[in-house]
Chain A
Amino acid sequence: GENVEQHPSTLSVQEGDSAVIKCTYSDSASNYFPWYKQELGKGPQLIIDIRSNVGEKKDQRIAVTLNKTAKHFSLHITETQPEDSAVYFCAATFGRAGSYQLTFGKGTKLSVIP
């Protein structure tokens, strides 16, 4: 089955600095890559996603890049703020047409130090 590796497992940055989280996936057929943010006591929430026909996508301070050849994708958060502190999960689709499933990385705990 699909395997998604996520690094680092923990990340501390100073407020205002950038944070980068990287993921690699094993199934070359994967073509949809969402990122989720989980705050304490809540379920994960989608923050940005990218499809395999796009190399980069931005949404304000958040961007995701995808390298299909190398089978890795990354989340970039610029000008970090204390409210960015959370656990972030990457995911990739696997499966066949009509029955896609998400496989998640193990998560990155991001701490933004004021």
Chain B
Amino acid sequence: KAGVTQTPRYLIKTRGQQVTLSCSPISGHRSVSWYQQTPGQGLQFLFEYFSETQRNKGNFPGRFSGRQFSNSRSEMNVSTLELGDSALYLCASSLGGGDPSQAEAFFGQGTRLTVV
């Protein structure tokens, strides 16, 4: 089956602009989580959407937002970009059901965002 697809793969934006990233999960997966990855900081959790509702949220400012559509596809938006937002943004899909193993995450290849 097709994996998690993230678009675009690369983006260059200017400070102050906004950006929207897209993630298509594995078919049948209802949970989509977003992570920011920077050197030395590992995978920092942004938020999780499940059945079009934000179910969990990390410690990021309100400039970071997301949404999920009825087909489970998700978008992440960052407004008023700052230089420090330059990172690899990863999306992961999972079944998201009641068993802990359903949290098993399948990652996309990520979107590399560079803010100049």
Binding site for B on A (CB under 8 A): 6, 31-32, 34, 36, 41-46, 49, 51, 89, 91, 93, 95, 97-107
**A34-B43 Cα distance, complex, nearest whole Å:** 14
Residue contact B109 to A42, C-beta cutoff 8 Å: yes
Residue contact A46 to B104, C-beta cutoff 8 Å: yes
- Per DSSP, are chain B's interface residues mostly helix, strand or loop, or mixed? mixed
Which residue of chain A has the shortest Cβ distance to B40 in the bound complex?
Answer: A106
Which residue of chain B has the shortest Cβ distance to A51 in the bound complex?
Answer: B101
**A32-B105 Cα distance, complex, nearest whole Å:** 12
Residues on the B chain within 8 Å of A44, using CB: 43, 90, 105, 107
Residues on the B chain within 8 Å of A31, using CB: 100
Contact partner of A97 among B96, B98, B106, CB < 8 A?
A: B98
**A91-B104 Cα distance, complex, nearest whole Å:** 10
Residues on the B chain within 8 Å of A101, using CB: 33, 45, 48, 56, 103
Residue contact A49 to B101, C-beta cutoff 8 Å: yes
Residues on the B chain within 8 Å of A36, using CB: 105, 107
Contact partner of B45 among A43, A99, A103, CB < 8 A?
A: A103
CB-CB contacts below 8 Å: B10-66 with A:
33, 35, 40-43, 45, 48, 50, 55-56
**A89-B100 Cα distance, complex, nearest whole Å:** 18
